[in-house]
Amino acid sequence: MSKYLVTGGAGFIGSNLVERLVEDGNDVVIVDDLSMGKIENLDCIPKEHVTFYKRSITDFGFMSRLLITEKFDYIVLLGAVASVADSVDRPAETHSINQEANINVYETIRKHALRVKKVLFASSAAVYGDDPVLPKKETSNIVPLTPYAIDKFSSERYAIVYGKLYDIPTVCTRFFNVYGPRQNPESPYSGVLSIVQSCLKTGKTFKLFGDGEQTRDFTYIDDVIDALLLLLSTPEAKWDVYNVATGKQTSLNDVIKSFEEATDKKLDVVHAETRKGDIKDSFADVTKLRSLGYVAKYDVKHGLNKYVKYNRKLKND
Ligand code: NAD
Ligand code: UD1
């Protein structure tokens, strides 16, 4: 049994990770301010193995005290304003959450010589921006187009440099577009597939920014959790960054079509102008993660079918 800290643990990726960690017999402490996450996301997880703090990761004093007193084996930094568009609207506020709060964690570990088995920081494919070379390799050009992407790149570099300078086992992931159960659709800034799923369910009109020909590497949540567990448990995976994705490129129009087929419903679509800072094309080269034995199990069709099944089961419960 190990002790984990998961920031953002009441969110989409976080709650799915916490569920798996607890199933595997670990104890987890969560810090989440519930700005996007929900306490109900943790309902299915046995309470005796989870401690939840409704706090902001920008409360540096609280975070430092927590790290010093709890002496975590593993730290997973998922807490962030995950929306690219939100960072365009609130650059300074999101900077303190998406960058400064992470540095406070690295700095506390350094200053107090805390011994951790692994610190994992969740970065993003957004760091590659609009560089036309595809697929995106970890060595591809970095062209951040938004405050979100700058903060992700900066936090990942700090993780690696702190790791090497002060011998802290750090590792970073660049997630591509993750989707699946518990992704919150309620904000205009939410992940696109959670919004599509909500519109299909309620019959509300979906606002499509641009012509729908923008492409993404849509990655099912279960594949992301497998990648996180692999990187946390592989000691050689340190001071480095790994793309986490399927390696497949799908347009927004095509993924919507697949979602309509999976639900047997038609999406009502209205078009709007492309969002500021939006990336046109993105998909990953996942050779590096594969070299550790990783295999993505879900293509878009299978991932969407599992997502739809999960939602149907929820409705019947
Ligand atoms: P999410 O919004 O569901 O999760 C983020 C969590 O962080 C939420 O629960 C939110 O309430 C919490 N949070 C936000 N500000 C906070 C603060 N000041 N203090 C404490 N908690 C705070 O998003 P997600 O999709 O689960 O993303 C998890 C991580 O993965 C984020 O760092 C995100 O940037 C990164 N990421 C996500 C994707 C994706 O496609 N979902 C892709 C690349 C990277
Ligand atoms: C997403 C993630 C971001 C991550 C990045 C990695 C979220 C909220 N964003 O950003 O954390 O770092 O992937 O690749 O999880 N769109 C619409 N209508 C909508 C919403 C979105 O047309 O209502 C379009 C967007 O303009 C964009 C595409 O769908 O072209 C995907 O948008 P979004 O889900 O917000 O993802 P990214 O911006 O790629």
CA distances from 114 to 58, 59, 64, 109 (A): 20, 19, 11, 5
Position 312 scores a pLDDT of: 86
Residue 188, pLDDT above cutoff 90: no
Ligand 2 contacts (CB < 6 A) are 82-84, 124-126, 175-177, 189-192, 195, 207-209, 214, 216, 252, 275, 278, 282
The question of whether 242 is a catalytic residue gets the answer: no
Q: What are the tens digits of pLDDT across the range 189-245?
A: 899 999 999 999 999 999 999 999 999 999 999 999 999 999 999 999 999 999 999
Which residue lies with its CA nearest to atom 34 of ligand 1?
82
Which candidate in 128, 148, 162, 242 is catalytic? 148
Is 198 strand, coil or helix? Answer: helix
Cis peptide before 135 (omega within 30 of 0): yes
Which residue(s) pair with 206 in the sheet? 269
- H-assigned helices in 120-191: 147-166
Nearest alpha carbon to residue 137 among 245, 236, 224 = 245
Taking the centre of ligand 1 as the mean of its atom positions, its distance from the CA of residue 82, in whole angstroms, is 5
Determine the pLDDT at residue 92: 98
- Looking at residue 314, what is its pLDDT? 78
| pLDDT value, residue 315 | 67
Residues 6+ apart with CB under 8 A from 58: 96, 97, 100, 101
How much of the chain, in percent, has pLDDT values that exceed 70?
A: 99
277, pLDDT greater than 90: no
Does the pLDDT of residue 2 top 90, yes or no? yes
Q: If you measure from the C-alpha of residue 264 to the centroid of ligand 1, how many angstroms do you get, rounded to a whole number?
A: 30
- In whole angstroms, give the CA distance from residue 102 to residue 173: 14
Give the H or E element holding residue 270.
Answer: strand 269-272
Identify the residue whose C-alpha is closest to ligand 1 atom 12.
8
pLDDT digits (tens, 9 = 90+) for 149-170: 999 999 999 999 999 999 999 9
Residue nearest to atom 20 of ligand 2 (CA): 192
Q: Is a pLDDT exceeding 80 seen at residue 28?
A: yes
Res 317 pLDDT > 60:
no
Count other Cβ atoms within 10 Å, centred on residue 53.
Answer: 17
For residues 27 and 49, is the Cβ–Cβ distance under 8 A? yes
Report the mean per-residue pLDDT for the chain. 96
Which pLDDT belongs to residue 313? 81
Reading phi first (left if > 0) and then psi (alpha if -120 to 50, else beta), residue 277 is in left
Question: How many angstroms is it from 7 CA to the middle of ligand 1?
Answer: 9
